[in-house]
Amino acid sequence: MQSDAVPLVHCPRCLASDVRLSSRRKAWDLVMRILLATPLRCRRCTKRFYRRVGPAHLRPLTAPGGRHRPDPEVLPMAGQRAPVVLVVEDSAPLLRLIRKTLARRGFAVFSAKSPGDGLALFQGQPRIDLAVIGLVKPTAGNLDLAAELERLQPGLPVLYLTGAGKTIARCSIEAQSPGAALAVPFTEEELIARASALLEAAARQGPDERLWERLIAVSDWIPSPIAMLQVYETRQATLAEVHVATLSAGDIQHAFRTTNCKAAPYGVTVCARDLVRARRLIGRDSDERQFVVAA
């Protein structure tokens, strides 16, 4: 029988990724087959274990008993510049595997094991196109890092690596962006497909649209009654950011929302009691010709 590699499956003893299909044993394998578990063996420490894997996990080697899998086809890149990816994951074997997988597909990859190192790498690069952040272990610093990267580069696509369980963090990420969470373990094809989809979605958005998404995401929660303070055209995202600074300095809670008006698709709301004071504050920073006053 050909010994097939099983990518992105790690040995439970030594965490190595050099895992292959194992020969079947009649008694115990008959029981495990009912549970749809596949016998596997780690080539590094020789541990034999079982894991539920599908056909997409299996990759034939170049020859029976060979040690290397053929490199996957490199994705075509737009222009001459390869997408730059920052990977932050505290598991060294998983980090190494992700880095090699992305590099083989033509991505330029920078990797770090801690949020502090990841932030330093991010600030040292002219531009990062995609961030891959591990959340398999409950590391609060990684969520803080994602928020800081979004603040520094609005609209930055982030792929979160989560555990298989339905945690609060995973459910929140999937509710906001279903394609931004990828459960571990995953196949090489799933990783590349998810990263490519996030990059393509970001490329379709202009800088103003990305800034509007950030403004909406960081909006305050405002108790009723609320009032519409201002509506904006799509190109007025920078003006809205100026208004955010003004309202924040005046200690006025505010929230950005989409509207039903095609000419002015975004708006900012405040508490009804703050409407007059908020309008007076932003009037100092705005030219009447730059924005549309809400009716």
CA dihedral 170, 163, 82, 78 (to 10 degrees): -60
Dihedral sign from CA coordinates of 83, 191, 137, 95: negative
Residues 6+ apart with CB under 8 A from 271: 222, 223, 225, 226, 227, 252, 253
CB atoms within 10 A of CB 105: 21
Q: For 226-246, write each residue's pLDDT tens digit.
A: 889 999 988 888 888 889 889
Range 84-204: architecture per CATH: 3-Layer(aba) Sandwich (3.40)
Closest CA to 164 of 139, 186, 179: 186
Is the preceding omega at residue 185 within 30 degrees of 0, hence cis?
A: yes
Would you state the pLDDT for residue 132?
93
Q: What is the CATH number of domain 209-293?
A: 3.30.70.1530
Q: For 88-125, write each residue's pLDDT tens digit.
A: 998 888 898 899 889 888 888 998 988 888 888 888 88
pTM over 0.95: no
User: Is residue 194 within 8 Å of residue 184, measured between CB atoms?
Assistant: no
Would you state the pLDDT for residue 275?
92
User: Is residue 3 within 8 Å of residue 64, measured between CB atoms?
Assistant: yes
Distances (CA, A) of 72 to 106, 140, 218, 290: 10, 34, 39, 51
Report angle CA 21, 24, 28 to the nearest 5 degrees: 120
Would you state the pLDDT for residue 75?
43
Rg of the chain over Cα atoms, rounded to whole angstroms, equals: 24
Interval 170-186 mean pLDDT: 78
pLDDT band for 61, please (50, 70, 90 cuts). Answer: very low
> Which residue intervals of 35-152 are DSSP H helices?
92-104, 115-123, 140-152
